[in-house]
């Protein structure tokens, strides 16, 4: 089974490397020649044509920043759909709007192929170790075909339902992470203003019901003040929350806390922090509390 992989960024590169190390023939594409070279050094083939990758592959995976990037790669000139064939499965592991996944699934099925939306959670570390959580939308036959590859990339793989359901689940994931980061920021700001040692505060909270992965991982990042070394860029999380808020409007679901966190992110981005880690919203909380200028 030959695998095509498009998008060798912070997440895509280690994911593609894991596929190659698992012994699968791999054909890759990325605008970053240095990232692509890491794969070709491992024996992967390079192609600058999306349709060529589709024609040569049994499974094509994309890991791209936004919905419009995925649409361009799949549906644009010389895109994946131009090389689609009956044995090809497309798996989009990007975080995009559910309606984008539904649209692409419909077009690829009409072209004789099939598709899955399979966004992930677990960050760069999970991508490196192959321990991602993967939320999958698409048909049962497509899921069964893609499962062996998904097992190379993740340890928790759940078929959520039809096309778009994986992306909707990822939006729920992004809502929870965003709100949890805001909660950690508020708790840390209160503790700091009261003169407490934040390292001790974090340790104490991690020993009780308030403990979470966000407090453990993102709380540590806040304490290290490593905002300029993003595990996940603020602008990308803000993009996801915009998609979540749109989904909430369409389904008549009030998302009050999500809207608040989105505004905190807007404030941080207005200060020039779009490329920083999403934990940088801590700085807004500290400024409002007059902990920092």
Nearest to 74 by CA among 150, 88, 87: 88
Per DSSP, what are the bridge partners of residue 62?
6, 92
Per-residue tokens: 118: 């399979």
Taking the alpha carbons of 72, 91, 20, 159 in that order, is the dihedral positive or negative?
Answer: positive
Beta strand 120-121 with 132-137 is antiparallel
What's this model's pTM, rounded to 2 decimal places?
0.93
Using only C-alpha atoms, what is the Rg of the chain? 20
Res. 22 pLDDT band, cuts 50 70 90: very high
Are 139 and 162 spatial neighbours (Cβ–Cβ below 8 Å)?
A: yes
Spatial distance between the Cα atoms of 113 and 47, rounded to a whole number of angstroms? 21
> Token pair of 108, please?
């690829």
Task: Return the SS3 of 178.
Answer: helix
pLDDT in tens, 252-291: 999 999 999 999 999 999 999 999 999 999 999 999 999 9
The CA-atom distances, in angstroms, between 10 and each of 144, 150, 188, 231, 256 are: 27, 18, 28, 8, 31
**How many Cα neighbours within 13 Å face the side chain of 194?**
10
pLDDT tens-place string over residues 198-221: 999 999 999 999 999 999 999 999
Name all domains of the chain by residue range, CATH numbers in brackets.
3-161 (3.40.50.720), 168-288 (1.10.1040.10)
Dump pLDDT digits (tens) for 79-123: 999 999 999 999 999 999 999 999 999 999 999 999 999 999 999
State how far the alpha carbon of 201 is from the alpha carbons of 125, 180, 250, 285, 292, in Å: 25, 16, 40, 17, 19
**Which tokens is 150 given?**
């998904």
What residues act catalytically?
Answer: 170
Write down the pLDDT at residue 75.
Answer: 97
Cα 117 from Cα 96, distance rounded (Å): 9
Measured at the CA of 116, the angle between CA 4 and CA 277, to 5 degrees, comes to 80
pLDDT digits (tens, 9 = 90+) for 117-176: 999 999 999 999 999 999 999 999 999 999 999 999 999 999 999 999 999 999 999 999
């Amino acid at each position: 089974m030959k695998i095509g992989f498009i998008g060798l960024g912070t997440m895509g590169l280690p994911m593609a490397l894991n596929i190659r190390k698992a012994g699968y023939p791999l054909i890759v594409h990325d605008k970053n020649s240095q990232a692509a070279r890491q794969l070709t050094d491992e024996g992967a083939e390079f192609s600058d044509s999306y349709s060529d990758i589709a024609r040569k592959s049994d499974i094509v995976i994309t890991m791209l920043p936004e919905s419009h990037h995925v649409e361009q790669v799949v549906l644009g000139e010389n895109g994946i759909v131009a090389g689609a064939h009956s044995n090809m499965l497309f798996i989009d592991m990007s975080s995009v709007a559910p309606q984008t996944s539904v649209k692409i699934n419909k077009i690829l099925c009409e072209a004789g192929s099939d598709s899955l939306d399979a966004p992930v959670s677990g960050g760069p570390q999970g991508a490196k170790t192959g321990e991602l959580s993967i939320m999958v939308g698409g048909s049962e036959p497509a899921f069964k075909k893609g499962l062996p590859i998904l097992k190379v990339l993740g340890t928790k793989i759940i078929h959520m339902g039809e096309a778009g359901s994986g992306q909707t689940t990822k939006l729920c994931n992004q809502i929870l992470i965003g709100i949890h980061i805001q909660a950690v920021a508020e708790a840390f700001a209160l503790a700091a203003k009261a003169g407490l040692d934040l390292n001790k505060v974090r340790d104490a909270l991690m020993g009780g019901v308030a403990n979470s992965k966000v407090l453990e991982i993102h709380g540590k990042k806040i304490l290290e003040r490593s905002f300029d070394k993003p595990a996940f860029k603020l602008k990308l999380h803000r993009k996801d929350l915009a998609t979540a808020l749109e989904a909430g409007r369409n389904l008549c679901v009030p998302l009050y806390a999500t809207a608040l966190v989105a505004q905190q992110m807007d404030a941080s981005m207005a200060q020039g922090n779009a490329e920083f880690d999403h934990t940088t919203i801590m700085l807004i909380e500290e400024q409002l509390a007059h902990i920092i200028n």
